[in-house]
Amino acid sequence: MRRTCGSLPAQLPAAEAEERLRRLTRFLVRALPLCRAHTTEFYTRGLWEQLVAARPEVVLQALRRPLPEASGTAAGRWDDDTFSDVFCENSKKLINVHLFALAARHYSLPNLGVCTPLEEVLEALRGESQGASGIKTDEFMNNKKSHEVQAMSELVDKIAKYCGLKQVIDIGSGKGYLSSFLSMQYNLKVYGIDSSKTNTNGAHERNRKLKKHWKTYQSRARANSETQRLEKPMKNEVKCKAINEKPLNNNSTLQSQDQESTQDSVPSCVFTEVAISETSKQTEINLAQAQSDESKLSEEALAVLNVLPADAVDVFSSSRCNYGEICEEEKAQRKMAFIKAKASKSRESNLYFPLTSYISAETELSDIITDLEDCIMVGLHTCGDLAANTLRIFTAKPEIKAVCSVGCCYHLLSEQYENQEDCTEEVWGFPMCQYLKDKGWCCGRNARMSACLLPTESLFYRAVLQVIIEETYGVTKSDRHVGKIFSKSSSFLDYVRKSLKKLELDDSKLPDSCIMDYYEKYKHRMNELEAFNMLKVVLAPCVEVLILLDRLCYLKEQNNIAWSGLVKLFDPVKSPRCYAVIALKKQSCLEGEANCR
């Protein structure tokens, strides 16, 4: 990687990113048939015999065995000769499970060498974040969301400061977790856009809860400030008293006491006067500090209250501070002046606006945000095509200077070549980069869902049900779905009965004994399904790499982007979809470079 764009960390060159993608696709083109297969059709299509040469118990044993440290073949360049040892050249079946697992690990993001460490990015974007104190996300978010919001907001704030930006557009903002935190903690003006009115209403409701949280924090801060103000003069008085009493506590002779008393009499008076004077000055300082604390507290309180919708806010007024007797008329005048001043200021900074709108690649943001200015676009777990469209909007709109996007729900992506219908007029979620477009690359929905590990018994029930449906009712395809009936069923018999009713099939054709015969026929082959599903899970990270590298290569094809990279933003144990796509435009980098100076 080479260092570019001022102080930003080294980035993967476009040619190297495409080479990594090319190597990955050479492996996946042979491995994807495993992922593209639907476990529902496992028995009806004879998928095990069709795709895997080894016995199920051999596959399970190989996949459960810890892999050695990457070295030799696994660490080197994978070529066609290596692939021939994983898959049979003639039958295309998987024959070497251990080498298959090594290859899948080799093509995972941690081992491909395509990611930029988060620590390097934060260090390169170094700058002091000056957010309000006391906002703890774990008090109103679960552990997963708290981890995600804190990590992403810190990075977004640093990018914004590096580029000199004050406005943030949060695409797919949901209930506003990230948006409100960016606004409160980092004093950024945030527009949270979500297609669901329910989510937007949820964002307002959440702000109502934040208001309650903030009032508690405000009361504690006032109490602490008052306690500190009162304690400091008392400490000085104790110190003065100790100085005056010190000679009387001396254990020397009476003569020594007299001499010491005589010698110390003048200094004692001087010290007493000085101590009293210092106490008086300290009291004045403490009063001034208390006023300053109250003023600062008022500003912090309003910074948070500005986050809330207008109809959910009880306006905080400095007239509540008891700094002396003030007539009711003057209180009212001060309150109105204070409200007007804050209303004027609130139009310019640290606001959060939840908006409802559907976002596509052609969306004109200026139609949604009337005061659109230079900004950073962000997305925390944007579903399906929304993540891809976020990047397209970023590259197309000159006002958007930077982007930080974490996608999810890959199974909801639209694919241009999935149905072999080359419609050039429509915008697709995958592929985005020119290399994969030229190759007509397709993952398939089943492959994109391969990361979803369901209980083996659930998969087994559904696969056997498919056998029953085809053999008894002659139905191979249906617009209806079984859904989550497994969790609501007490047994296989109960599962089949409920499923047939949901599919609107007459279950009276099947006596209980017939249903249980199917169960007995296939139960000894359950380990095949378990082993097959494990193979799909091993490949899942490679499918994610394909999607993320596609997006990264797309960004590197754009002429107006100075820096782009993949960053592991979250702890994958807490948040499995943990990789962020980050990019900065050329003008933003020039401004950031100037700010660094």
Per-position DSSP letters for 64-86, written without gaps between them: HSPPPPS-TTTTS---HHHHHHH
Segment 328-342 mean pLDDT = 64
> CB neighbours of 373 closer than 8 A, spacing ≥ 6?
166, 167, 399
Segment 467-480 mean pLDDT = 90
Torsion 129-130-136-140 (CA) sign: negative
- Please state, in angstroms and rounded to a whole number, the distance separating the CA atoms of residues 19 and 270: 82
Furthest-apart CA atoms within the chain: distance in Å: 119
Q: Respond yes or no on whether the N-terminal peptide bond of residue 431 is cis (omega within 30° of 0).
A: yes
CB atoms within 10 A of CB 391: 24
Segment 154-172 mean pLDDT = 96
- Predicted confidence band at 347 (pLDDT cuts at 50, 70, 90)? very low
Q: Helix or strand or coil: residue 298?
A: helix
pLDDT at 397 (0 to 100)? 95
pLDDT tens for residues 188-230? 999 999 988 777 666 666 666 665 665 565 566 566 666 666 6
pLDDT at 46 over 60: yes
pLDDT at 443 (0 to 100)? 92
Answer yes or no: are the C-beta atoms of 143 and 51 closer than 8 Å: no
DSSP string, 217-266: HHHHHHHHHHHHHHHHHHHHHHHHHHHHHTGGG--S-HHHHHHHHHHHHH
- Please state, in angstroms and rounded to a whole number, the distance separating the CA atoms of residues 420 and 416: 8
**Percentage of the chain modeled with pLDDT above 90:** 52
Torsion 259-265-271-275 (CA) sign: positive
- Please state, in angstroms and rounded to a whole number, the distance separating the CA atoms of residues 83 and 96: 10
- Predicted confidence band at 243 (pLDDT cuts at 50, 70, 90)? very low
pLDDT at 510 over 80: yes
- Predicted confidence band at 329 (pLDDT cuts at 50, 70, 90)? confident
pLDDT at 19 over 60: yes
Q: In what order do the strands lie in the sheet with 352-356?
A: 352-356, 189-194, 167-171, 375-383, 400-408, 579-585, 561-568
Q: Higher-confidence residue: 228 or 411?
A: 411
- Predicted confidence band at 582 (pLDDT cuts at 50, 70, 90)? very high
pLDDT at 370 over 70: yes
pTM of the model: 0.75
In whole numbers, what is the pLDDT of the chain averaged over residues? Answer: 78
Segment 7-36 mean pLDDT = 92
pLDDT at 58 over 50: yes
pLDDT at 488 (0 to 100)? 94
Segment 50-60 mean pLDDT = 96
| Size of the chain, expressed as the number of residues it contains | 597
> CB neighbours of 36 closer than 8 A, spacing ≥ 6?
443, 444, 446, 447
Q: Residue 212: in which H helix or E strand, if any?
A: helix 197-245
